[in-house]
Amino acid sequence: MAFVCCEADVTGTGAEEVFIETSAALNTTEEVAAVSTISEPLLIAEGIDQSLHGQVRRQVDNRVLGTLSNDGMKWDPSFKPEKTDFKQLDSTTMEMTIAGTVYTGSLGKGEGATTIVTWSDGETWLVQQ
């Protein structure tokens, strides 16, 4: 038995490549069926997880930054940011793009229904559902 890299017909599934254990002889092909065991998508195509919807405060001073939802961030009027794109990559990581700069956020669980987002620039947000 050997692990081999293979091409897969993954039309519309979002999969990239798979590794399959097989007993096929070298330099031969064998068609096999495979089932994904990933329980959550790698890229959440339609918005962000429900646990990230809510009021956003900056941890250091508890200042309200805005409200986060599938439509993105509705910033507090005191901010005048350019268009902000949010993308959830998986259950523990998201990205935000402001003025062409991409920030990566690590997601963690806070008290109660609070989610903690620690951004790559060091800023920490608290998202209260």
| pTM metric for this prediction | 0.61
Cα 16 to Cα 71: distance, rounded to the nearest angstrom = 28
Partners of 9 in beta bridges: none
The pLDDT, as a whole number, for residue 22 is 52
Residue 24 DSSP code: P
**Regions of the chain where pLDDT drops below 50:** 1-10, 14-20, 36-46
The pLDDT, as a whole number, for residue 41 is 33
The pLDDT, as a whole number, for residue 2 is 41
Could you tell me the domains of the chain? 1-37 (no CATH), 50-128 (2.40.128)
The pLDDT, as a whole number, for residue 36 is 46
The tokens for 104 are 């990566």
Percent of the residues in the chain that have a pLDDT greater than 90, as a whole number:
30
The pLDDT, as a whole number, for residue 70 is 78
